[in-house]
Structure formats: C-alpha cells, structure tokens
Chain A
Amino acid sequence: MTLDTLITRIGARWIVAGNASHIAICGAYAGDRVSDLLNHVSEDTLLITHLSNSSLIRLIELMDAHAICLAGGVEPDEGLVTVAREQNASLAASPFGMYETCGKIYAALSGLPPGGAP
C-alpha cells in the first residue's frame, strides 16, 4: 500500500508529506527506544513513535526507511519538521493512541474494513 493511502485510511494528518505517493509500506513498528527502532525499522516499514526530535530523521535515513507517524496526539518538535523537510522524509501525526494507530494500520494493510474484522 502506498504511504499516502495508508495515512489517509488511518485518519492521520500530514505534517510533511515528502514522497508519500511513491513509498510502498508493508508493515509498521512502534516503539520509543532508539535501540529497538534501529533493529526493526527498514525500507518498507512505517515507524510509529511518541518521540519527537530531529534525531529520528537521521535514524530512518540510516536504516533506509522513509516515514514516521507520531502517535498519541504528540505534536512534532520544530527541529523535526525542519529536518524532515530538508531530507524530504515523510512525517505524519495520528490523533489516536499508539494501540489504536497500530490497529488501524494492521487493518488497512491486511485488507480488513476500517471498522475491524468483518
């Protein structure tokens, strides 16, 4: 699924869209510890986190990933937005908590209807 379709389906909003229409996403990884994110984020994963600082962009860049979705209504740090723009990375924010955000992503990627299991 392309990143922009996914972000629309889960009810999140764009802060920096980047190349969202060209990025294919197959999974997501949620976490707030950099060490965990390093081990689990790759090219086609969407990173879900409460962290909001510019180091995240360097992290996804090193791990070949493209996109971050902030969860739990976290507002992006100014530096993060600036660096995301500079690096053309994709940054979205979801109003839902991490659990719900992940549930919505799971449903969208598994082809379930938005409301959950059929």
Chain B
Amino acid sequence: MNTAIYAIDGGNYEQGGLASKQLKEMLKKIGVDASAVRKTMIAAYEAEMNVVIHARKGVMKVAVDPSHVDVAVIDEGPGIPDIDRAMTEGFSTAPPVARELGFGAGMGLPNIKRNSDRFSLQSTVNQGTHLRFAIYFAPQRTEASVPNAVHILNEKCRQCLMCLHACPTQAMRMRDAQPRILDHLCIDCTSCIAVCEAGALVLNCPPPLASPEVATVLVVPASFFEQFGAGPGPSEIVAALHGMGFASVRSSAEWECALRNAVDEYAQRGAVARPVLSPVCPAIVNLIQLKFPSLIAHVAPFLTPIEAAREELRATSAAFVPACPSQQTALRAIGTASQREIVDPHTLRSLVAPRVAGTKRALADAPQGASAPAFEVSGVRHVLKVLDAIENGEMDDCDVIELFACDQGCFGSPIWKEAPFVARRRFERTGGGVGANDAALALPREKTLQPRPGLRLDRDMARAIEKLAQIDELARTLPGRNCCVCGAPTCAALAEDVVAGRATVDACAYRQA
C-alpha cells in the first residue's frame, strides 16, 4: 500500500487542481489503466475544488494498492448542514466568484459519487467535511471472486463433509480431498466454521497485534468482553486493555446502538419498503444481495456498525477486533488512507486473559442506553425463513427486524469460546452500560446496495435458461441422496457444477449409468 498526502489551499483557484495532478502522476507511475485514472481524476478534481471553493484549507489523503485507489478529502470549513440536499444535482451554495469560473453548478458531489465505486460523506457544521471515495482498477465481474475471510487449513480437514451440508448458499465444495469455497457464493457467514470440529476453517486474521503506540483507539466487539468466564466483566476487560497501553477502548455496541436508533427513526419517518431490515450484520447484507435482491429496498440505507466504526475513525490511528469473517472483510474491503490495523481476536484474548485472571466483575449499575431491538432473528437458518416470508409478503405486521447470521448475534460467532446465550445474558446484565454513550454515529450508505450476481448461471439470460434446462435434466439422472461424497453439497449443486464446467458427472459414486 502506497500512501500520500497533498495539501489543498482554500480560496486559491490558481492552485486548484494541483493535488489531483500529483495524484494523477502517481497513478500513471504505477501503471493504472486509463479509464480508472479518468474516473479518479473527475472525482478528485471535484473534491479538491470543493475545498478551494468552500473551505479554509484541506488535505487529500491517498492510499493505493494493486486493486484500487482510496481517496479521502478532509477540510476545515463551514461543513454541510444538509447532506441530502448537497447530494441533489443542481443544489449549490458556491459563491458567485466560483460560478463565474464554471464551478458551483451543484454537480460536484453527484459527479464524485457517480464516478466512484465507494463513496462516503460526513460533515460537521462549522468544523469541516470528510469526503471519501474509492475506485477499483479492474471492474468487478460476475464470476470475479468477492473477498471473504474464511481461511482453510487443509492439513486439519478430516473430510467430514459437515461444512458442505451447513453452508446456506452452497458455496462449499470438496475438491481433491480439500475444502474449497466458491468465492462468488460465499457470504462470509460463520456456518461452515461453526460445524467444523477439526478446526480446518478459521477466521483469516493477520497474526501480529497492533501495538498501542501505533493504535491509540481499539474497537472491540461487545461479545469479546464476555469471553473470560463468569469472573471478569466488561469494566475489568477495558481496564486490562488500558493497562496494555491502549489509550481508548471503544465497544462495537456504540455503533450498534447508533444504528438501532437511526433505523428506528428511518422506519418512522417513512421507509421505502416494510418491514425495514437493519443492516446490523454484514453477512446478512451479503446474503440479501446474493439470494434476496428483491429485498434490497427493505435494507435501511445505513452502513453496518463495523463499517461505520471504520469510517468514523478513519482519520484516527485505530485498530479493530473483528468478531467474524464478515466483519473482517468489511474492515479489509477497502484500503485506508490512515493507519488501520486489524487485531486477531484470539491473540488479543490470550493477552488479556492473564491480566484479568481471578478478578470479579463489579456489579454495574442498571445498564442504560442499551435499548433492546424491537424484533431480532438470529441464526442463518432462521434468517433464511424470515427473508423468504418477507419476499412472500407475509411479514407486513413487522416494522423493523434485526437479522444476525450467528445465534444470539455476535455472541454466537464460532470464534468465541463462551456459550452464546450465557455470554449474552451476562453482558446484558452487567455490561450493557459499556459503550452506551452517544459518541458513535450511524452513517448513511451513500452507494446503494447492488445485487450480487453470484447465483446467475450466465450473464446472457437466454444461455442461463438453456443451462437451467441442462441442469434439471442432469439432476434427474442423479440419485438425489445429497450425500456430498462427490464434493458438492447436493445432487442439484453437482449438476450445476457439471454444467458450469467445475466438475464432471463421474464424481457421483451412486449414479446409475
């Protein structure tokens, strides 16, 4: 990852565009293709000129890696009082001097959004504006792998085939006696990890621990606080982390609370579609994009809590502890323009455990602020049933639903040792107050969610229909035992693999020739 920072001088139209020009030189040097450079330049120049027109001063922070460029434009200026209006084409608050020069047509922000693959905007009136966008160098294609964070340890696999049965999207395969994940189908839930008794499927996390000198803020999942048995509680864990040198420890519960409040308000002031689905679990958001694209409009337009935390702390040297692969992917999904580290939860747990050994939790005051969700569904099997029901229009009596891939929400992530129900109950009784402050923000999702084409058989609909017929025909010749011995989760999945060229029909041991 290569990073750079360019200064932008507010009000200086003569120099306006210099930061973008420097960015262009950098992209050209590393050989980024022309169309990506072009999109980056449109967005960067608009963002830079916004600082020149509206702010006192600002910086453009750039991070480039082989897959994308991430640009943050941060200014000290008047801020944007109403972001929705600012995003409307034609709305502008630019002074006449800017308009005379051809700027201030009210197209800048929409133009940035249109030309970028990721876009976020945060602003505080009288303080300034944080604008961030990213552009992928290669367009993401149908079969292109979607990043996921489930790691396979081949040597540990006992070929029990449980993961094939468990995967809710049929993304698991057994090939050459080793588990394989079809990335375009994987939603980063934890179903396969949860059933793998051999420990061959794990959270893919980099081993080194961010040092407190580098990371001043540590963001910890609420569920982490309850992984130390009945003794120490959240307050003791926070104290131990302070003792390790982390100046500030924040709980993911802060962003979860902020999201809950924001989604409730969104539901009340007139949501597009009901019931409103809260984007609290990134894996469920993936699931909806993959298998229930018709329900995308039901998802409240906010970032998931982990994404909001990442965005809110982007200018800080923060480190994050993911609770599951989907959070890990959300953290990693895009490079950052600041120091951002991901901390392996197991490593952190092993470092904290000796520090809290023998402590007893202080009985906290009655938890405040930790509002309970109106309606929560957890566990991916249950979630699938609910999503089906919503798709069939059978859930009109619900306003807001929080869906989690893991049982009992993040307390049920299989990376944790404590029993989910127990951990959650302990947390709610004594730890609910941790993180129940108003500091965190729920951030709007500026780029609408797109359906993931993973399930589509072919980009061309006619060919897809043809393939569907072939699959049906082939599936009829298979025994229907869904035994997984061939390496596919069901007979129908094998038929699909054969038609897609991923397997041969000989793989079936029971087929009557």
Contact = CB atoms under 8 A, between A and B. Distances in A.
A112 interface: no
A79 B14 contact: yes
20 contacts: A34-B103, A35-B46, A35-B111, A36-B107, A38-B41, A38-B42, A38-B45, A38-B111, A42-B38, A51-B102, A53-B101, A55-B101, A55-B103, A59-B17, A59-B45, A61-B21, A62-B20, A63-B38, A63-B41, A63-B42
B21 A62 contact: yes
A8 to B, nearest CB: 27
Given A62-B41, A63-B42, 16 more contacts: A33-B102, A34-B101, A35-B46, A36-B107, A37-B102, A38-B41, A39-B111, A53-B101, A54-B14, A55-B103, A58-B16, A62-B20, A62-B21, A63-B38, A63-B41, A64-B38
A32 interface: yes
Given A38-B46, A39-B42, A55 B102 contact: yes
Contacts of A79: 14
A101 interface: no
Nearest to B44: A62
Nearest to B99: A33
A90 B453 CA distance: 46
A94 interface: no
B74 interface: no
A55 B13 contact: yes
A51 B21 CA distance: 21
Given A38-B111, A59-B45, A62-B20, A51 B101 contact: yes
Main secondary structure on B side of the interface with A: helix
A107 B119 CA distance: 41
A58 B38 contact: no
A34 B105 contact: yes
Interface string B1-40: 0000000000001101110110010000000001000100
B108 interface: yes
A45 interface: no
Interface string A9-52: 00000000000000000000000111111110010000001010
Contact of B102 (A32, A39, A61, A63): A32
B107 A35 contact: yes
A55 B48 CA distance: 12
Contacts of A33: 102, 105, 107
Contacts of B24: 62
A32 B107 CA distance: 13
B150 interface: no
Given A35-B46, A38-B111, A58 B17 contact: yes
A27 to B, nearest CB: 16
B49 interface: yes
Which 5 residue pairs across A and B have the least CB separation, nearest first? A35-B107, A58-B17, A33-B105, A51-B102, A34-B102
Listed residue (B16, B100, B101) with the most chain A CB atoms within 10 angstroms of its CB: B101
Contacts of A55: 13, 16-17, 101-103
Contacts of B13: 53-55
B98 to A, nearest CB: 9
A35 B21 contact: no
A98 to B, nearest CB: 14
Contact of A35 (B16, B17, B38, B105): B105
Given A53-B101, A55-B17, A62 B45 contact: yes
Nearest to B112: A35
Interface string A58-74: 11011110000000000
A47 to B, nearest CB: 11
B151 to A, nearest CB: 41
Nearest to A79: B14
Interface in B76-111: 100-103, 105, 107-108, 111
Contacts of B17: 55, 58-59, 61-62
Contacts of A49: 102
Contacts of B34: 64
Contacts of A36: 105, 107
Contacts of B18: 58
B114 to A, nearest CB: 8
A34 B16 CA distance: 13
Nearest to A50: B102
A86 to B, nearest CB: 12
Nearest to B23: A62
Contacts of B107: 33, 35-36
Interface string B173-186: 00000000000000
Contacts of A34: 49, 101-103, 105
